[in-house]
């Protein structure tokens, strides 16, 4: 019998951790990534990673972390995997420390921790303000070691085109295309782990990297996988408005004492501190975002009449700022030109993270057998809102679960892919080649893919972010149907058969439409307000009708079929989420 093989799609934190775990168990791994894995979007995470290591004498514990996370997510997450994640967190932090992550230290040389939103504890380990980068590099290095040892083969610069699914509906590999040569190949895999990140680019400008189109997860969804809680999109309260993207200003800025304010009646008004005396500037993101949005849009109290408020660090010690927040201070200086040591930063909310994603069971397996998912592309950990510094944790934790479970799944198979006939794979390549050739022929229309994408982003940002109205959501769905038609009229402007980025983008754009439908339809049908999902017409949480996971199934019209699934709340009984008082 041939050796078993695992395919991992995506080389961010989740994909690399999956790869490392599987390689450690002796499984051969082929790792696919659009970009060299070291350039994955995980590098953009800034503030840190949560784990209740409790080194500050605060009596923190994994259970409190668990409670904060579930409460912060407005009880929409199934609790058992969240609890498992919070219990694993301290161990994961120590593991990464052993790998050489340059976490900030205390004077005694121990790991330092800072505060983040939605908790009263110092629970966030951090490496300056480029924690995601540092964690990604550590895992990248470990995977490189496995590469040298021959267990891992990287396919960097390859785009995922779809799963290869056999006649029993079981995943047996993937189809992928080289981004330079455009060669299309089918890869055999006993199991596949999708670790393909979030879909922020659907909203045009966001805090996300350019590869975060959600295209890969969308393809798997279009191939029949269930997609959970798509409507739960996190809008980060503090980003720098920009021409090409909205650059994140980490929550750690507030964790280290940054204050949000604007002018009211000619005087500074610290509106978060005023309304939420206990949590102050460290209320969860959905809460902070709605407040800033309200101050700017409804009360028209933005700075100089623009849609920005101040995030102020200028009262802090400059050296301490450099040591603890250097990365983001530099970003602000380089991209805006002002010095946050001296003047407050101007910020506004921006699309940041998708709590929703591919549905997975407690072993991180999607509804397609043999296909697993981990990281932002799975829906499992954050419910209706993600707490800051939980994303690095969930990405890495997802990998530590998906990797070993995929290997376990492979061990249980009675036949390995190398023994399967090649017909299924040849067929898969032919099918994708035909699709590609079709797109390459799109040179007579009058739509520009990038401009169409801009329209998509604008309408999604306008109607499906901070405040949602059913009328606008329905309108958005209609527009999405129109976009799908207009897509056929795209002119790719470039028929080159070598490194043709326009054609790749055109193909991704269609996949974005599919997910945009999931997000919008899910939002339309959820007539309540929970976590990041806020409808002024339904301002309260409605546990009776909507303490349920939204499940989207693909239909060829692109408008998904929505069903609901009960949420496992067996450990912590849902209670009202309210940050205006003290500890919850």
Partner 1 sequence: MHTNHGRSKTIVVKIKRQDGPDATPRWEEFEVPYRPNMNVISVLMKVRENPVTRDGKKTTPVAWNMNCLEEVCGACSMVINGRPRQSCSALVDQLTQPLSLEPMSTFPIVRDLQVDRSRMFDSLKKVKAWVPIDGSYDLGEGPRLPERKREWAYELSKCMTCGVCLESCPNVNDHSSFMGPAPLSQARLFNTHPTGAMIKDERLNAIMGDGGLANCGNSQNCVQACPKGIPLTTSIASLNRAATVQMFKNFFGSDHMVD
Which tokens is 209 given? 């990297």
Find the shortest distance in angstroms from Cβ 44 to partner 1. 5
3-class secondary-structure state, position 43: helix
Q: Is 577 a catalytic residue?
A: no
Which tokens is 410 given? 């492979």
- Give the number of residues written for the chain: 584
Q: How far apart are CA 576 and CA 574, in angstroms?
A: 7
Find the shortest distance in angstroms from Cβ 211 to partner 1. 6
DSSP letter, residue 193:
E
DSSP for 269-338?
E-HHHHH-TTTGGGS-HHHHHHHHHIIIIIS--SGGGSS-EEEE-TTS-HHHHHHHHHHHHHHHHHHH--
Find the shortest distance in angstroms from Cβ 304 to partner 1. 14
Query: Which residue, 145 or 415, has its beta carbon nearer to partner 1?
Result: 145
Find the shortest distance in angstroms from Cβ 428 to partner 1. 27
Find the shortest distance in angstroms from Cβ 324 to partner 1. 11
Query: Which residue, 101 or 524, has its beta carbon nearer to partner 1?
Result: 101
Name the catalytic one among 247, 254, 285, 468.
285
Give 523: exposed, middle or buried? Use CB within 10 Å, 0-12, 13-18, 19+: buried
Query: Which residue, 237 or 399, has its beta carbon nearer to partner 1?
Result: 399
Count CB-CB contacts under 10 A for residue 284.
28
Of 244, 561, 234, give the one whose Cα is nearest residue 391.
234
Strands 191-194 and 5-9: parallel
Residue in the block written with tokens 């995030």: 311
Strands 548-553 and 227-228: antiparallel
Query: Which residue, 168 or 243, has its beta carbon nearer to partner 1?
Result: 243
Query: Which residue, 6 or 165, has its beta carbon nearer to partner 1?
Result: 6
Query: Which residue, 93 or 547, has its beta carbon nearer to partner 1?
Result: 93
Find the shortest distance in angstroms from Cβ 502 to partner 1. 5
Enclosing H/E stretch for 550: strand 548-553
Query: Which residue, 142 or 517, has its beta carbon nearer to partner 1?
Result: 142
Query: Which residue, 346 or 577, has its beta carbon nearer to partner 1?
Result: 346
* Cβ-based neighbours of 144, under 8 Å, separated by 6 or more: none
- Region of 559 on the Ramachandran plot (φ > 0 left; ψ -120 to 50 alpha; else beta): beta
Find the shortest distance in angstroms from Cβ 152 to partner 1. 12
Q: Residue 10, CB half-sphere, CA atoms under 13 Å: how many? A: 33
182 close to 498: Cβ distance less than 8 angstroms? yes
Find the shortest distance in angstroms from Cβ 458 to partner 1. 14
DSSP letter, residue 355:
S
Q: How far apart are CA 89 and CA 364, in angstroms?
A: 17
Query: Which residue, 28 or 543, has its beta carbon nearer to partner 1?
Result: 28
Query: At CA 400, angle to CA 394 and CA 402, rounded to 5?
Result: 90
How is the beta sheet containing 158-165 ordered, strand by strand? 158-165, 171-178, 184-188
Find the shortest distance in angstroms from Cβ 112 to partner 1. 8
- Helices (H) and strands (E) counted in the chain, each on its own, are 15, 21
Residues that are catalytic: 285
């Amino acid at each position: 019998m041939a050796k078993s093989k695992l395919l991992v799609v995506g080389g961010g934190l989740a994909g690399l951790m999956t790869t490392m775990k599987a390689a450690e168990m002796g499984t051969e791994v082929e790792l696919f990534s659009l970009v060299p894995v070291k350039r994955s979007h995980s590098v953009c995470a800034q503030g840190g990673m949560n784990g209740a290591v409790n080194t500050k004498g605060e009596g923190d514990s994994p259970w409190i972390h668990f409670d904060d996370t579930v409460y912060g997510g407005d009880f929409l997450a199934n609790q058992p995997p969240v609890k498992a994640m919070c219990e694993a967190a301290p161990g994961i932090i120590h593991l990464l420390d052993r790998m050489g992550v340059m976490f900030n230290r205390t004077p005694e040389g121990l790991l330092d921790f800072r505060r983040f939103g939605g908790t009263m504890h110092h629970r966030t380990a951090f490496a300056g303000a480029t924690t995601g980068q540092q964690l990604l590099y550590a895992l990248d290095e470990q995977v490189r070691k496995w590469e040298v040892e021959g267990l891992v083969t990287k396919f960097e610069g390859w785009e995922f085109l779809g799963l290869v699914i056999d006649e029993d509906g079981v995943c047996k590999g993937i189809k992928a295309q080289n981004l330079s040569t455009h060669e299309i190949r089918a890869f055999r895999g006993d199991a596949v782990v999708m670790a393909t990140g979030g879909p922020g680019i659907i909203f045009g400008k966001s805090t996300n990297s350019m590869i975060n189109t959600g295209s890969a997860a969308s393809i798997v969804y279009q191939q029949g996988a269930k997609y959970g809680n798509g409507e739960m999109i996190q809008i980060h309260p503090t980003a720098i408005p920009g021409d090409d993207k909205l650059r994140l200003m980490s929550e750690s800025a507030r964790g280290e004492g940054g204050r949000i304010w604007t002018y009211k009646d000619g005087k500074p008004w610290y509106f978060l501190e005023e309304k939420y005396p206990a949590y102050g500037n460290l209320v969860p993101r959905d809460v902070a975002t709605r407040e800033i949005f309200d101050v700017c849009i409804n009360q028209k109290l933005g700075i100089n009449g623009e849609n920005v408020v101040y995030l102020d660090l200028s009262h802090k010690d400059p050296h301490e700022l450099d040591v603890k927040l250097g990365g983001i201070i530099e970003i602000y200086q380089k991209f805006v030109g002002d010095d946050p040591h001296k003047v407050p930063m101007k910020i506004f909310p921006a699309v940041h993270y998708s709590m929703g994603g591919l549905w997975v069971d407690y072993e991180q397996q999607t509804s397609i057998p043999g296909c697993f998912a981990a990281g932002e592309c799975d829906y499992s950990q954050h419910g209706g809102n993600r707490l800051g510094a939980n994303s690095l944790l969930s990405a890495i934790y997802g990998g530590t679960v998906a990797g070993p479970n995929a290997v376990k799944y492979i061990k249980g198979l009675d036949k390995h892919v190398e023994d399967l006939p090649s017909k299924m794979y040849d067929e898969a390549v032919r099918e994708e080649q035909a699709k590609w050739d079709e797109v390459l022929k799109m040179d007579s229309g009058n739509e520009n893919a990038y401009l169409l994408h801009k329209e998509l982003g604008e309408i999604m940002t306008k109607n499906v972010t901070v405040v949602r109205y059913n009328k606008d959501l329905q309108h958005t769905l209609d527009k999405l149907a129109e976009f799908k038609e207009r897509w056929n009229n795209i002119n790719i402007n470039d028929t080159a058969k070598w490194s043709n980025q326009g054609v790749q983008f055109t193909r991704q754009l269609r996949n974005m439409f599919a997910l945009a439908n999931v997000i919008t339809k899910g939002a339309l049908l959820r007539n309540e307000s929970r976590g990041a999902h806020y409808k002024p017409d339904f301002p309260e949480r409605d546990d009776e009708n909507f303490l349920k996971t939204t499940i989207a199934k693909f239909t060829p019209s692109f408008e998904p079929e929505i069903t609901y699934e009960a949420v496992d709340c067996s450990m912590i009984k849902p209670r009202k989420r309210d940050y205006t008082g003290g500890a919850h």
